[in-house]
Amino acid sequence: MLKLTMLGSGGSIPLPDRYLSSGLIEYKGRKILVDAGEGTQVSMRSINSGFKDLDVICITHLHGDHVIGLQGMLGTTSNSGRTKPITIIGPTGLKDVLAGFRLISPYLNYEVNVIEDPTEPVVINNDDIHGDLIIETLPVEHTRPCLGYRFNISRQPKFDVEKAKANHVPQAAWKSLQQGQEVMLDGVTYTKDMVLGEERKGLSISYITDTLPIDTIPNFVQDSDLFVCCANYGDSADKKKADKNKHMTFHDAATLAKEGNVHRLLLTHFSQAMRHPEEYVENAREVFPHTWINQDHLQVELNFDQEPVLDLSLVKEPYLCNQEG
């Protein structure tokens, strides 16, 4: 299972009743954080999520509401007893910002690997993860260099007994081949494609914030199980303001979701002036019906071959609006 917990839903400024937009992805006991504004570690603590298993932090861009919380997050994670390295991915400039942060937190119990502006997918695969998690990035269009992210979980094909027998693969080799290893027995080499069935669809979460609704996004988010997208303004009358600030309206984000043929859209990163984003949900649903409105601590569970499931049990004040989009 792949789980996303939204640690916050706001843009620009942390508010007493709304944390800054940030997403925590959990997969097989490991954690990946997308963005860390001021207070993200507090939100994480408030849902009793530990810090020790935080493997990867993806920073979309170097505006304060997405990165100021990173330094406290690194310190708290160090205090949590983590000793394994942490990978931090982000746009060019991240290393300089981190160097500044490290003046305050010079001593961490683990190594920090920084990947600026990756040109190839980042594969997260260690001893504890059976099944790769692949992180792809897309440069998007904001007032500072900004990256969109896509997280893909591959799925192991089924073992095909008939195929194995047809290929005369000895039973002694089956287990290793199923695990993806090549096997040599009595001078004959056996490969996994001799025993495994067809490729199966994995799971994917796309996460885009903050940007104009540029035309490379639909292809990047194509067929995602969940598309988390910034949508500062619910009212389409704010389109000019959105364009000026290089942000999006609900209508913009829904249009990208439709063009990208995603399964579910989760809107987030709401303007501080928009106290009740749920009031504007129809502006998105008239374009893309399967739209959810984010709220701090909303969770989505993703399972193979199933529709994404919304979980509001951790949300303090559930929405009045119908979330059955």
Catalytic positions: 65
The neighbour count for residue 216, using CB atoms within 10 Å, is 13
Stretches 100-108, 120-128, 171-179, 252-260: which one binds its own copies (CB under 8 A)? 100-108
Question: Measured between alpha carbons, how far is 149 from 178 in angstroms, rounded to an integer?
Answer: 30
Shortest spacing between CB 42 and its own copies, in angstroms = 5
Binding to its own copies, residues 39-68 (CB under 8 A):
39, 41-43, 45-46, 62-64, 67-68
Question: Measured between alpha carbons, how far is 18 from 36 in angstroms, rounded to an integer?
Answer: 14
Compare residues 12 and 283 and give the one whose CB is closer to its own copies.
12
Rg (CA), the chain: 21
Q: In this structure, are strands 86-90 and 188-190 parallel, antiparallel, or unpaired?
A: unpaired
Stretches 70-78, 132-140, 203-211, 274-282: which one binds its own copies (CB under 8 A)? 70-78
Among 104, 161, 273, 309, binds its own copies (CB under 8 A): 104
Q: Which residue has the tokens 């209508």?
A: 251
Is 267 a binding residue for its own copies by CB under 8 A? The answer is no
Shortest spacing between CB 206 and its own copies, in angstroms = 25
Compare residues 71 and 249 and give the one whose CB is closer to its own copies.
71
Binding to its own copies, residues 220-259 (CB under 8 A):
none
| Residues paired with 93 in a beta bridge | none
Among 105, 154, 176, 178, binds its own copies (CB under 8 A): 105
Is 7 a binding residue for its own copies by CB under 8 A? The answer is no
H-helix or E-strand spanning residue 207: strand 200-208
Axis crossing angle, helix 94-102 with helix 70-79, rounded to the nearest 10:
60
Question: Measured between alpha carbons, how far is 130 from 127 in angstroms, rounded to an integer?
Answer: 7
Q: Is 168 annotated as a binding residue?
A: no
Among 3, 53, 87, 93, binds its own copies (CB under 8 A): 93
Is 273 a binding residue for its own copies by CB under 8 A? The answer is no
* CA dist list (Å): 249 to 67, 229, 271: 23, 10, 10
Q: Is 66 annotated as a binding residue?
A: yes
3 state DSSP class of 184: strand
DSSP-derived secondary structure for 114-159: EEES-SSPEEE--TT-SS-EEEEEEEE-SSS-EEEEEEEEEEPPPB
Q: Which residues in this chain contact its own copies in the complex, by CB under 8 A? A: 13-16, 38-39, 41-43, 45-46, 62-64, 67-69, 71-72, 75-76, 79, 93, 96-97, 99-101, 103-105
Q: Residues at the annotated binding site? A: 61, 63, 65-66, 142, 210, 269
Q: Residues at the annotated binding site for Zn(2+)? A: 61, 63, 65-66, 142, 210, 269
